[in-house]
Structure 1
Amino acid sequence: MKAADSNRAGSAPGLWRDTDFRRLWVGQTASQFGAQATQVILPLIAVVSLDAGSGRLGALRAVEQAPILLLSLFAGAWVDRRRARSVMVLADCGRALALGAIPAAYLFGLLGLPVLLVVALLVGVLSVFFDVAYQASLVRLVDRERLLQGNSALEGSRSAAQIGGPALGGALVSLFSGPVAVVTGAFFFALSSVSIWRIRGREQLPERGDGPVRVLRQIQEGLRFVTGNSSLRAVGAASALFQFWFAALMTVYLLYLPRGLHLSGTAIGLALAAMGPGAVVGSLLAARLPGRFGYGRVLVYSAFVADGVMLCVPALQGSAAVTLPVLVGVNLLFGTFGQLVNVTMMAVRQAVTPVRIQGRVVATINFAGMGLTPVGSLLGGFLAGHWGLRTSLLVTAVALSLSPLFMAFSPLARLGRHLPYEQEPGPPSVCRHQTGDARTVSEP
């Protein structure tokens, strides 16, 4: 590595002096605020304004998550051949316009579940492309040695969004109405697109070879790389177990809070927002603990704590004065240790992946980890309708422990304090921050 790069890697404030990274951080933060607010507002519109039952709420969540299964692999190959900045800008502009259709439909008396389903589908499709692009863009902006710091900063902003997004969305639904509250999400997506559009570093597109690159061949390359690497296989499998049961749990959870515990929209927003402060702490810990105790030990123990604490939720009953503080504490712990797992897993994935296929590996892991979330959401709605809210919540909370149990017996548990970085063959194919040896799952 060049001396200048070494100096930058050794100076902690160096990453924040980078104007392009700051613009990416601001844009990603705004986008996460929009996403977090929307994830609360759309279900609350369905439950509170449209009186949707468990089956319809499960269908709404499944429709929003279905593009992960259908489009992730294609999105990875597509993003690897294009500038990540352009993909992110177009995706967030599209999400802002899609959400704007809800207040328009309300004004014309057309708002109903079909409109919500269409908007949820559009938002889900565009979210797939944005999430792949922003995770792939980080490796084009910072050096390999700064990935953990960069991930910690971006995940810290996602944590801040988890504080403000749900609380703001729930409060607006409670004070005004869902169609008015959804404008908040549209505003944040628009702000994100403006900030990311201002990134000035020019990305170099990958070499395309002598003939046209076939998307199917690129997808296969990403699949082969993930299945051929024991650490990535374990990341994908652990992610799949967690995301499937977390999707089922959240469908029941969003019904349990207003109907089982009789919480208001504001209280629901505050309860969900409690994950945010914990996630801020988790992001900070992720920059230090893996290097001190080992990546494997941090992953396994943190996952057991994060998933195990959710077992407290089905036991709650009584007034909001009693249940709300407990929910805040549970979500605080879940946010802290869940985020610690998330950031550590992303560092593992990025370390063992060559930069030229980062987009495809992100997409393949997302496909494996989150592809079955629509089925999980439908299962959660089915269980809530047939077994009751409390029993369904207990079953799905217990099933969350399958993910850390798998990790404990996987190659991830054997990772030490240093990761085996993948050396990039050939000349670099990225922008100005890339050096010769330079070199991400929504939930853990």
Structure 2
Amino acid sequence: MTSTMSPAPRRPDDIRSTAPLLRNRPYQAVSWSQTCTDFAEQFLIVAITWAAVHTFGGDRLGLVLAAWAVPRGLLLLFGGVLADRKDRRAVGVAVGMLLCLLNLSASVVTGRDELWAWLALAVCLGVLDAVRLPLGSSLLPLIVGRERLVEANRWVSLREWGAMTGGPALGGALVALLGTGSTLITAAVMYALSSILLAQLPSLRPDEEQPREPVLVELSQGLAIVLRHRQLRTLLLAFALANLFILGLVGVGIPLFAKEVLKAGPQGLGVLAAAFGAGLVLGTLLCHRLPDRWQRSQQMIFALFMLSDCLLAVVGLAPNLLLAAAAYGASGLVAGPPATYYRALLQTLPPAEYLGRVTSIARATSFGLEPASTAGVGALSARLSARTLFVVGGCAAAVVDLIGLTLSRHRNREN
């Protein structure tokens, strides 16, 4: 039994692929810069959501998160155009310093009950997110050779999951020990450090200025590919609808559940978020132990997501923090493999020349629905308990996954 569970020996070429990254100074600068950004973002999210819940309640928290998400969803694709046409180093440094200033401003705004100031702050954060997200994804191919990209992305994934797992818990502890204002100042320092590290890179301006079609024309071409491709159409539409129920629960439901049901304080909020992140990490690590056929099975992707959403509904039934964290962590554990398979399908189904646009449409669809989801859950929180929100929202998302599973079966039978 022990021998079957022991990891396979590491190949020599894996060792060789790691060593150059350690000597690649631009890669190290970007890696540590984005580590600072990832943890600062988690501190910011915990501080903002906890302060908004205490200042306004769940309905206004939904408005604040919607004001954050709307410009991010609307401008995300245009942020990608900016990253492609400008010096990525200069844009990254500027965005980091602006985020530093916004976090310093947030340390003042969160101490007041003026909703307009909260909304203005959230809109500015959303605009900068629309630039930061595509910029971060586009840096790696410029500083790492093609033969090193797989190993580099492996470390990127570990960093992101590590921030998702440890960042919320650490952010919750900082809020409890130092207060919201000091936590936001800490995040501001980390954003500034991120910019300083990124400034160590050489210029990353595009080498050649090639004529491009208008952005809207290129986006319409990508949308046409999605609508004509039956498998892509099923995946993107189903997950967009499921996100409509899920995103609001994560953004609004979890803080409300921690405060009103569990009476757990900011530490409890951090524990819940960290439990889900830890589940995602473990689930992603276990992908290679699952049957290979699952990686290409659209039906299995929907089935696993359906189970994850059912476990999310179970969170609403948990009587204490321990059981709620266990259910939330199990939901993340089950969601890890299908999330990986889903990304792989999005990279292999469309023609190569449309890959970027299809991926952008998928991300924009998710971010674009977040404002409606968070605002809707925030409004419903005035009429329904946090427990009811989780049970109903999780079950509704599971029904959407079941519909996607059924459509996938019909497609396989027709083929």
TM-score range, shorter chain: 0.7 to 0.9
Structure 2 residue aligned with 1:31, among 5, 27, 37?
37
Query: What amino acid maps onto 1:310 in structure 2?
Result: L
Per the alignment, residue 11 of structure 1 pairs with 14
- Mapped to 1, the partners of 2:36 and 2:291 lie a distance apart of 28
Q: Counterparts in 2 of 1:360-399, with a 5 A limit?
A: 360-399=357-396
Say if 2:280 and 2:333, in contact at 8 Å, map to a contact too: yes
- Mapped to 1, the partners of 2:165 and 2:121 lie a distance apart of 24
Distance 1:293 1:363, change over 3 A: closer
Deviation at residue 371 of structure 1 after TM alignment: 0.7
How many percent identity over aligned positions?
Answer: 26
- Mapped to 1, the partners of 2:198 and 2:409 lie a distance apart of 34
Deviation at residue 10 of structure 1 after TM alignment: 5.2
CA RMSD of aligned residues (A): 3.3
Return the TM-score normalized by structure 1. Answer: 0.78
Distance 1:92 1:314, change over 3 A: same
1:251-281 CA-partner distances (Å, limit 9, x unpaired) = 1221121112211111221222122322222
Structure 1 residue aligned with 2:65, among 61, 65, 78?
61
Query: What amino acid maps onto 1:56 in structure 2?
Result: R
Per the alignment, residue 218 of structure 2 pairs with 218
Distance 1:12 1:124, change over 3 A: farther
Deviation at residue 101 of structure 1 after TM alignment: 0.5
- Unaligned residue ranges in structure 2 (runs of 5+): 1-10
Query: What amino acid maps onto 2:264 in structure 1?
Result: L
Query: What amino acid maps onto 1:324 in structure 2?
Result: L
Per the alignment, residue 80 of structure 2 pairs with 76
Say if 2:312 and 2:390, in contact at 8 Å, map to a contact too: no
1:43 lines up with 2:49 in the alignment:
yes
- Mapped to 2, the partners of 1:131 and 1:343 lie a distance apart of 19
Deviation at residue 355 of structure 1 after TM alignment: 7.1
1:381-436 CA-partner distances (Å, limit 9, x unpaired) = 12211223222221112122145324424569999xxxxxxxxxxxxxxxxxxxxx
Q: Counterparts in 2 of 1:79-94, with a 5 A limit?
A: 79-94=83-98
1:43-69 CA-partner distances (Å, limit 9, x unpaired) = 111122x2x122111101111111233
- Mapped to 2, the partners of 1:103 and 1:73 lie a distance apart of 30
Per the alignment, residue 185 of structure 2 pairs with 183
Deviation at residue 159 of structure 1 after TM alignment: 1.4
1:313 lines up with 2:315 in the alignment:
yes
Deviation at residue 331 of structure 1 after TM alignment: 2.6
- Mapped to 2, the partners of 1:411 and 1:149 lie a distance apart of 33
Say if 1:59 and 1:378, in contact at 8 Å, map to a contact too: yes
Return the TM-score normalized by structure 2. Answer: 0.83
Per the alignment, residue 425 of structure 1 pairs with none
Per the alignment, residue 120 of structure 1 pairs with 122
Deviation at residue 375 of structure 1 after TM alignment: 0.7
Count of aligned residue pairs for this structure pair: 397
Q: Counterparts in 2 of 1:160-171, with a 5 A limit?
A: 160-171=162-173
- Unaligned residue ranges in structure 1 (runs of 5+): 1-7, 318-322, 416-444
Say if 1:67 and 1:125, in contact at 8 Å, map to a contact too: yes
- Mapped to 1, the partners of 2:226 and 2:283 lie a distance apart of 27
Per the alignment, residue 436 of structure 1 pairs with none
Per the alignment, residue 295 of structure 1 pairs with 296
- Mapped to 1, the partners of 2:280 and 2:245 lie a distance apart of 20
More helix by share: 2
1:264 lines up with 2:265 in the alignment:
yes
